Chains A and B, each alone.
Chain A
Amino acid sequence: MKSPVRLERRLEQPKWLNWAIPVISLLGALAVGAIVLLLTGKNPIDVYQRIFERGFLSTRALTGTLRTATPFAFTGLCAAAAFRLGVINIGGEGQLYMGAIGASYVGLVMGNSYPVGIVIIAMVFAGMIFGGMYAGFVGLLRAQFNTNEIITSLMMNYIAGIVLNYLIFNSLSYWRDPRSAGFPSGKPLDKRAFWPSYEIGGVGISFGLILAAFVAIAVWVLYKRSRFGFEIGVIADSPRAARYIGIRTKTTIVVVTALSGALAGIGGASQVGDFTHYLDAKGLQLNSFGYTGIVVAALARLNPLGAIVVAILLGGLTNAGYSLQGPDFPSGLVGTLQGLILFTAVAGEILMKYRVKRNTAAKKATVAL
């Protein structure tokens, strides 16, 4: 009955574990993935090699990878920002849709009458406000009525999807292109609402990804260096201590959840401004950017700077999945690997807090009883 190993709480968490655990988690996921591949009659080494090539080994591959990584970075930051307070906001998906709706509206309204810089800034803020308010509602319910934010934020993802479909497919809304008679689609933005992209050594980098990097730094400073971040840490560690020193816990929960949603909202704005240049109701829902963000945050151990790195890593994986998809590369494989990564990343958290010991002493104790 007794397990041969037992977990012993670590007294100190050595610094090297911070990067070792995610690396081990990733390798663990690949190892389990290899079993799945062997079972389906594929050579795992061959498959992984192709993923790596198509994800990272050419300028074209890298351009695609960074493009895919951009929304992952924002939704990863979204999840990390909320999880750090202990608010499990898994609504990054819906908050990203809302950001896209807000940004495309502003882009459509302002696109042909304001200077480029103003339009872009307005789109970013619109994305933040839409995503932030959408998440803020979840935070408000949690703070005021102690509802389970996992459930509310998840349900609101479906609502956001329905709103998207309504705007483009089921109504003659402002977002719908009246000229798209056959298959309804979003109204195209004016060129001035297109976000710039840059090229370094043949690799295209979107404005959104650069913005994500700056946002990650800002979030890092907020959590690690600011008074507000200090309070968030105290609430997460001990709600009673927070009450003891008079921190406004409810307000903080609402603000942080809204902030988290705002980050996903910029991701939505970036989809519109950087890539699609119209409100793409189908495309946004096809990719599960929000859910992948949870994997990003978990593997990055909720570190905002780490989230950028992990987003690029998973971006490569996903991007390779797109281009390799075919009879000898099942489309479900990338999703399977992402699921395994989340699984091993969460398991890795246990290794952060506990160390594995062989269960010899415990055996004796049982006999003594």
Chain B
Amino acid sequence: MTNTIAVQMSGVVKRFPGVVANDGVEFELRRGEVHALLGENGAGKSTLSNILTGLYRPDEGTIELNGAPVSFSSPRDALNAGIGMVHQHFRLVETFSVAENVVLGNPDTAFLLDTAAINERVKELAARYDMAVDPEARIWQLSVGEQQRVEILKVLYRGAQVLILDEPTAVLTPIEADALFRTLRAMTAEGRTVIFISHKLDEVMAVSDRITVLRGGRTVGTVDTSTTNKRDLASMMVGRNVEFTRVQRKTPAQANDIVLHVENLGGHDDRGRDALHGITLTVGRGEIVGIAGVAGNGQRELAEVIAGMRHATTGSVSVEGKILQSGKARAAIAGGVAHVPEDRLHTGLAAGHSVEDNLALKSYRSSLLSRFGLLRRQAMRDGAVDLVERYDVKTPSTQTAVRLLSGGNVQKVLLAREFSTDPKVLIAASPTRGLDVGAIESVRERLVEAADSGLGVLLISEDLDEIMSLADRIAVIYEGRIVAVIPADKADRETIGLLMGGSHLEATS
């Protein structure tokens, strides 16, 4: 039974403008297994599952379901064929009951709901798979773990045989995660099949039967969980043989001359949950410290707390020994913190405003650019013309709206402005993401120049190559904690990959 193939995907290619998200992926799913799909951000996991659930159509390649070729044109098609997806971000109507959410969108539902029968059916399904949830409860009353159960019930109710769970444990507590694993076991025992998308090595080892690793849109390989280990998986995930060269620095970093000191820092995410747990780290003069980690482990919150956009719940941030007032962006700017946020166009810049306005975004209050509350437009214009020239921004004029510029030029405007504020510390979050090769090169040069000129640079990036080639020291962040700080010349990809996946050094070495 377990050896019959449920899903076979071969040669799957999916291109998006400028990116090949899936580049000939091979994927085989056996009925009744928990199959983990492992890979870094951007490895192509989401694209692959979106193809399988009918959200995207592959440009090339075939999908076979139980041996017969299929082609889905919508998620509904896929669901009718028995493939259901449990999304990371729930799609539930908060004011509806559990049962109502479960039958929502179900074409077989009668015009008038037979509430009692539906409740009974939902209760029965929930009991069968060990998912305690009250069918009559309203969604808003439920915990995140319970809401996830409702999502799972939704696809089970529709009769899904193959369930895809996209990073299901990201929102769960450890106890809830264990309960989820039991549910998955109960489902596979009945012959249902589970695709489990994750980048956490420990839980992949704990829950799966087989593992397929994706990297850069290609299948690296499929292995039996019983015959592999975390170290091998980590190296499959991040790649072993990539050559990278450390950038040559003109002035050596002075790690002991601390410019940025983050001490026991805590902070909330947008939903008010703790996202940072006692983060302590330092950046020296002229030093580039890389923060490596899978997205969503507290990087954005860390950057925003340092930049004063977010309150610290514990601890402090100091620049050159002076403690910055928490939650005050202006205090951070005045204290010498430059910040390149990951969302450049809508956080770092006001996209509908001109290049001139954006270049003045942090200095318009200075006496140089305004007097008696009125802007000195001529000074703003002169400053903009000067910066556009010095940073080689390609723009029709300084009056052009920033949203009309190319990605590389957008980043140049942002960097030009940040350096123009004469900072002591630069926080750069994913500064090269989405840029073309030439722009990536020029941004990296700017970062190195900044460090050479004595700035302390905190480089937050999901691109391990970038961190390995630029950083002097590498700090790994996992679930809001710095789990290790390693000098770059002693770091290897495997170790960092393991740490990023939540495994501790001593557990594997």
- A240 engages B353 (CB within 8 Å): no
Q: Is B249 an interface residue (CB 8 A)?
A: no
* Given A227-B364, A230-B364, A233-B353; A244-B374 close (CB under 8 Å): no
Return the contact of B347 from the options A11, A230, A233, A240 (Cβ within 8 A).
A240
Q: Is A57 an interface residue (CB 8 A)?
A: no
Q: Is B408 an interface residue (CB 8 A)?
A: no
Return the contact of A244 from the options B309, B328, B365, B377 (Cβ within 8 A).
B309
Q: Name the interface residues of A118-168: CB closer than 8 Å to any CB of B.
A: none
Within 8 Å CB of A228, what residues of B? 373
Closest to A244 in B: B347
Q: Name the interface residues of A224-242: CB closer than 8 Å to any CB of B.
A: 225-228, 230, 233-234, 237-238, 240-242
- B353 engages A244 (CB within 8 Å): no
Q: Is A4 an interface residue (CB 8 A)?
A: no
Bound-state Cα–Cα, A228 to B373, Å: 7
Min Cβ gap A256→B in Å is 15
- A245 engages B349 (CB within 8 Å): no
* Given A227-B364, A230-B357, A230-B364; A241-B348 close (CB under 8 Å): yes
Within 8 Å CB of B348, what residues of A? 241, 244
- B330 engages A244 (CB within 8 Å): no
Closest to B345 in A: A238
Q: Name the interface residues of B314-362: CB closer than 8 Å to any CB of A.
A: 328-333, 339, 341, 343, 346-353, 357, 361-362
- A245 engages B353 (CB within 8 Å): no
Q: Is B379 an interface residue (CB 8 A)?
A: no
- A225 engages B362 (CB within 8 Å): no
Return the contact of B341 from the options A227, A242, A244, A246 (Cβ within 8 A).
A244
Return the contact of A246 from the options B333, B351, B375, B404 (Cβ within 8 A).
B333
- B353 engages A234 (CB within 8 Å): yes
> How many residues of B are in contact with the other chain, CB < 8 A?
31
Within 8 Å CB of B351, what residues of A? 237-238
Min Cβ gap B38→A in Å is 33
Within 8 Å CB of B365, what residues of A? 227
Within 8 Å CB of B361, what residues of A? 234, 241, 245
- B329 engages A237 (CB within 8 Å): no
Min Cβ gap A150→B in Å is 22
- B404 engages A241 (CB within 8 Å): no
- B350 engages A238 (CB within 8 Å): yes
Bound-state Cα–Cα, A221 to B339, Å: 31
* Given A241-B349, A246-B308; A226-B373 close (CB under 8 Å): yes
- A230 engages B339 (CB within 8 Å): no
Q: Is A243 an interface residue (CB 8 A)?
A: yes
Within 8 Å CB of A243, what residues of B? 309, 329, 347
Bound-state Cα–Cα, A11 to B377, Å: 24
Return the contact of A237 from the options B308, B341, B343, B350 (Cβ within 8 A).
B350
Min Cβ gap B161→A in Å is 29
Min Cβ gap B140→A in Å is 17
- A245 engages B333 (CB within 8 Å): yes
Q: Is B469 an interface residue (CB 8 A)?
A: no
Q: Name the interface residues of B89-135: CB closer than 8 Å to any CB of A.
A: none
* A-B pairs with beta carbons under 8 Å apart, 11 shown: A11-B404, A225-B374, A225-B375, A226-B373, A233-B357, A241-B348, A241-B349, A244-B341, A245-B330, A246-B308, A246-B331
Residues of chain A having any CB pair with chain B under 8 Å: 11-12, 221, 225-228, 230, 233-234, 237-238, 240-246
Top 3 nearest A-B pairs by Cβ distance? A246-B329, A246-B330, A237-B350
Residues of chain B having any CB pair with chain A under 8 Å: 307-309, 328-333, 339, 341, 343, 346-353, 357, 361-362, 364-365, 370, 373-375, 377, 404
